[in-house]
């Protein structure tokens, strides 16, 4: 059962992270941990080899900090029909993923969920 | 029991859509592949099947009369993770061994080199993560989608990831001088019947064979064989010949399958180094070094040093 | 009478030149542009007429009319670029150098041709350009590629390439540049077996008040069995990356 659940986890996991992982994800992110943040979409860099989403999070003490969320290549987003205009700047999002091994405010995104339950840039744009 | 099944279905539904679209590995549905002949979930079986299938297939020809292997090709193997058999984990797609020349499917590696490999993996950042070229043969299985193109006297392979490409000159007389070492080496091809044989020398040997830190030296000779075994399948094999690191030459093999969307797919530019500074800083902060290549000369010295360290000298006189 | 005949005979070479060079063909009948090519000029230092300075040879400009019709703000940017060129120049940072500069860098490039797709492979940081023949740009707004998106067609013996979707980039080491709005048209014409005329029109309304053109000759490398090598500048430094390459 454990093996099966781990396998399932792998399925959902593969949703947002770069599929043809050109390099090992474990190099950069701690795959034994999970992190979740909630914040506001600030901006996004539509780049290769990784697109980066910037999310503003308000810490407990009231300070706001920017978290970097790593996506796959911008090309893969374009191919599925997503473009810069689709970014809901200002939207509330919850980001779930892997924490960076260097301790920075960086997440390897597993999913980025909007307030209405939709996952940002999942699947193809219709 | 029923609750579990429902949860499983819930999880599977959206994930399987993405999985079917994106994961090339396993599952009943492979929407991008034209998946025959010779099943390729096991490299050894595919290799043996392919050698036979080649004899029964007459490939289409280019205008200058050589087998036409142009098109968009996908590989589903995960040799870039490890050329040996390795399981599915959160970080790996997993797969059977890619080594088809040894009985046990293991890499015939010298002891000192295996020890070095085990150190490589945790100590050094993988070359691909810092946008470096992959060398030969790793270029041929690092990314998932390739375009092969042919022009009289030339064979061009390009992958989208990090805009990697390699040019094979057909029937050039000799390799470039030993004083020039290149990331992708120097490749000369020639036709042997319907098989394109490619010999590559002059590598700088900085890239690895896989993410497990397997390496070679600048004296390596890589010999590849490309053979169409069906309208939508290419049998690819490479023999790695580097007596500085390995105890014998060994052969890796995989299948390229023609992509179903080949009439519409275009390789787009995927810049790497230009926008990778953030990630590269992360690797440095974590503590990774950049791998330095081992030359043939250094490998021989290391091998001798290893023997000295681990071998035993003949006892001349017992001591009390 | 003899003088008249001699006069017309002397014009014969001009007549020949006016006919244009008839290049050899590929197997499907297109002009064969294949080979290893390189520019021999100083355009990469400065695309306009310039004097020598330390490590920079004097040179003729490649800009037709030698004037660049900068808008005021863009011209100020150009001046600032020049001042900070050691850190801002994409070439100093080992970035791909866009179109057309990649064609006149001090490194050769190769032209590889099939009927539907022409590929330019560059020695400099393994840059590669795919020119798809007789097809449309992807039409996806906002895509920026360092080498843009190239679509080609033949006009007689001239390969015409239409380039869009460029990320902002420089045109030389002196800070001349274009924006993401640039629309560039290249024309490649063989004028002899070893010489190619390379003509470029740059239309970038954000930077320049009107389109302008550059033109140069590309030379086929003559060494037997030559191939392009590699210039992987960002790999030279291991862990210690110089500031210009941060």
In chain A, which residues touch B (CB < 8 A)?
A: 6-15, 19-28, 31, 45, 47-50, 52, 68, 70, 73, 75, 78-79, 100-104, 106, 119, 122-123
Q: Which residue numbers in chain A have pLDDT < 70?
A: 1-22, 126
Give domain status of residue C57, yes or no. Answer: yes
Residue of chain B nearest C127, judged by CA positions: B163
Q: What is the pLDDT of residues C146-176, one digit of tens each?
A: 999 999 999 999 999 999 999 999 999 999 9
Report the distance separating Cα A80 and Cα A16, nearest Å: 13
pLDDT surpasses 60 at C241: no
Report the distance separating Cα C76 and Cα B20, nearest Å: 52
pLDDT surpasses 90 at C48: yes
> Does the distance separating the beta carbons of C128 and B165 come in below 8 Å?
yes
Q: What is the pLDDT of residues B127-178, one digit of tens each?
A: 999 999 999 999 999 999 999 999 999 999 999 999 999 999 999 999 999 9
Chain C, 135-164: which have a CB under 8 Å from a chain B CB? 138, 145-147
Q: Hey, of C96, C142, C149, which one would you mutate to test binding to chain A, going by the most A CBs within 10 A of its CB?
A: C142
**Per-residue pLDDT in tens (0 to 9) along chain B, 320 residues:** 444 544 444 444 333 333 333 433 334 445 567 778 899 889 999 999 999 999 999 999 999 999 999 999 999 889 999 999 999 998 999 999 999 999 999 999 999 999 999 999 999 999 999 999 999 999 999 999 999 999 999 999 999 999 999 999 999 999 999 999 999 999 999 999 999 999 999 999 999 999 999 999 999 999 999 999 999 999 999 999 999 999 999 999 999 999 999 999 999 999 999 999 989 999 999 999 999 999 999 999 999 999 998 887 777 888 87
**C89 or A12: whose pLDDT is higher?**
C89
B-to-C residue pairs, Cβ atoms closer than 8 angstroms: 83
CATH 2.40.50.140 at A2-19+30-114, yes or no: yes
With beta carbons less than 8 A apart as the criterion, state whether C32 and C113 touch: yes
Measured in angstroms, the CA of A75 and the nearest CA of chain C are apart by 9
Measured in angstroms, the CA of B255 and the nearest CA of chain A are apart by 17
Give domain status of residue C3, yes or no. Answer: no
Give domain status of residue C241, yes or no. Answer: yes
> Does the distance separating the beta carbons of A11 and B16 come in below 8 Å?
yes
Contacts of B73 (CB under 8 A, 6+ apart): B145, B146, B147, B148, B234, B256, B257, B258, B259
**pLDDT average, residue stretch C89-101:** 97
Q: What is the pLDDT of residues C182-230, one digit of tens each?
A: 999 999 999 999 999 999 999 999 999 999 999 999 999 999 999 999 9
Cα B298–B303–B308 angle (5° rounding)? 125
> Does the distance separating the beta carbons of C127 and B290 come in below 8 Å?
no
- Structural domain of C68: 33-245
Q: Name chain C contacts of A83, Cβ cutoff 8 Å.
A: 140-143
ipTM score assigned to the predicted complex: 0.91
Measured in angstroms, the CA of C16 and the nearest CA of chain B are apart by 31
Measured in angstroms, the CA of C56 and the nearest CA of chain A are apart by 34
> Does the distance separating the beta carbons of A78 and C141 come in below 8 Å?
no
A-to-C residue pairs, Cβ atoms closer than 8 angstroms: 15
Residue of chain C nearest A75, judged by CA positions: C143
Give domain status of residue C111, yes or no. Answer: yes
Report the distance separating Cα B234 and Cα B257, nearest Å: 7
Q: Name chain B contacts of C95, Cβ cutoff 8 Å.
A: 273-274
Measured in angstroms, the CA of C22 and the nearest CA of chain B are apart by 21
* Cβ of residue B51 closer than 8 Å to a chain A Cβ: no
Q: Name chain B contacts of A15, Cβ cutoff 8 Å.
A: 14-15, 18
Please give the domain boundaries of chain B with CATH numbers for all domains. Answer: 36-306 (2.40.128.20)
The structural domains of chain A, with segments of one domain joined by +, span 2-19+30-114
Give domain status of residue C15, yes or no. Answer: no
Query: What b/e string do you get for B292-307 counting C-beta neighbours within 10 Å, with b at 16 or more?
Result: ebbbbeebbebbeebe
> Does the distance separating the beta carbons of B279 and A70 come in below 8 Å?
yes
**B245 or C18: whose pLDDT is higher?**
B245
Q: Name chain B contacts of C225, Cβ cutoff 8 Å.
A: 169, 172-174
pLDDT at A20: 43
Measured in angstroms, the CA of A28 and the nearest CA of chain B are apart by 7
| Cross-chain CB nearest to B12 (options A11, A14, A100) | A11
What is the number of structural domains in chain C? 1
pLDDT at B3: 47
């Amino acid at each position: 059962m454990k093996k099966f659940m781990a396998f399932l986890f792998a399925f959902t996991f593969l949703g947002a992270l770069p599929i043809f992982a050109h390099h090992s994800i474990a190099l950069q992110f701690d795959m034994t941990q999970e992190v979740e943040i909630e914040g506001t979409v600030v901006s996004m860099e539509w780049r290769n080899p990784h697109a980066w989403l910037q999310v503003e999070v308000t810490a407990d003490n009231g300070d706001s900090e920017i978290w970097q969320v790593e996506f796959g290549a911008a090309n893969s987003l374009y191919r599925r029909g997503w473009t810069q205009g689709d970014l809901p700047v200002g939207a509330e999002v919850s980001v779930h993923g892997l924490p960076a091994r260097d301790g920075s405010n960086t997440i390897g995104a597993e999913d980025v969920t909007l307030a209405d339950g939709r996952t940002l840039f999942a699947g193809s744009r219709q | 029991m029923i609750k579990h099944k429902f949860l499983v279905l819930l999880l599977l539904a959206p994930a399987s859509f993405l999985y079917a679209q994106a994961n090339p590995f396993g599952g009943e549905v492979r929407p991008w592949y034209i998946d025959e002949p010779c099943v390729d979930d096991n490299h050894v079986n595919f290799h043996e099947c392919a050698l036979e299938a080649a004899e029964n297939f007459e490939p289409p020809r280019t205008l200058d009369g050589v087998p036409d292997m142009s098109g968009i090709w996908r590989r589903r193997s995960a040799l870039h993770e490890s050329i040996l058999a390795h399981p599915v984990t959160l970080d790996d797609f997993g797969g059977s061994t890619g080594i088809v020349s040894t009985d046990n499917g293991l890499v015939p590696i010298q002891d000192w080199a295996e020890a070095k490999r085990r150190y490589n993996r945790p100590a050094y950042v993988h070359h691909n993560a810092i946008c470096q070229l992959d060398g030969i043969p790793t270029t041929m299985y690092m990314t998932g989608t390739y375009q092969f193109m042919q022009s009289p006297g030339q064979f061009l392979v390009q992958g989208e990831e990090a805009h990697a490409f390699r040019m094979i000159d057909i029937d050039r007389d000799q390799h470039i001088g030993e004083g020039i070492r290149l990331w992708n080496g120097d490749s000369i091809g020639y036709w042997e019947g319907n098989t394109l044989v490619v010999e590559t020398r002059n590598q700088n040997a900085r890239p690895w064979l896989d993410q497990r830190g397997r390496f070679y030296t600048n004296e390596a000779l890589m010999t590849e064989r490309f053979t169409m075994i069906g309208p939508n399948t290419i049998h690819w094999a490479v023999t790695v010949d580097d007596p500085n690191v390995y105890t014998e030459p060994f052969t890796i093999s995989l299948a390229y399958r023609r992509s179903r969307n080949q009439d519409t797919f275009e390789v787009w530019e995927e810049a790497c180094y230009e926008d990778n500074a953030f990630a590269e800083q992360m690797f440095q902060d974590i503590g990774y070094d950049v791998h330095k290549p081992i030359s043939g000369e250094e490998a021989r010295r290391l091998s001798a040093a290893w023997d000295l360290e681990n071998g035993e000298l003949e006892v001349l006189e017992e001591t009390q | 009478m003899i003088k008249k005949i001699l006069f017309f005979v002397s014009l014969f070479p001009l007549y020949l030149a006016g006919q244009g060079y008839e290049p050899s063909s590929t197997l499907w009948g297109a002009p064969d542009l294949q080979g290893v090519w390189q520019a021999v000029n100083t355009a990469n230092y400065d695309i306009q007429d310039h004097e020598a300075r330390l490590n920079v040879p004097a040179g003729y400009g490649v800009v037709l009319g030698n004037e660049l019709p900068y808008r005021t703000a863009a011209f100020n940017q150009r001046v600032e670029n020049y001042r900070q060129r050691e850190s801002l120049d994409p070439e100093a940072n080992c970035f791909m150098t866009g179109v057309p500069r990649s064609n006149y860098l001090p490194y050769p490039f190769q032209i590889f041709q099939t009927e539907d797709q022409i590929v330019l492979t560059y020695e400099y940081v393994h840059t590669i350009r795919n020119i798809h023949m007789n097809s449309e740009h992807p039409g996806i707004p906002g895509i920026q590629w360092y080498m843009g998106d190239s679509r080609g067609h033949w006009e007689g013996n001239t390969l015409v390439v239409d380039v869009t979707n460029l990320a902002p980039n420089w045109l030389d080491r002196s800070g001349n540049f274009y924006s993401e709005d640039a629309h560039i048209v290249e024309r490649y014409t063989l004028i002899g077996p070893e010489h190619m005329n390379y003509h470029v029109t740059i239309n970038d309304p954000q930077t320049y008040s009107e389109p302008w053109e550059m033109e140069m000759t590309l030379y086929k490398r003559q060494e037997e069995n030559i191939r392009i090598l590699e210039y992987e500048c960002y790999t030279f430094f291991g862990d210690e990356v110089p500031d210009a390459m941060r």
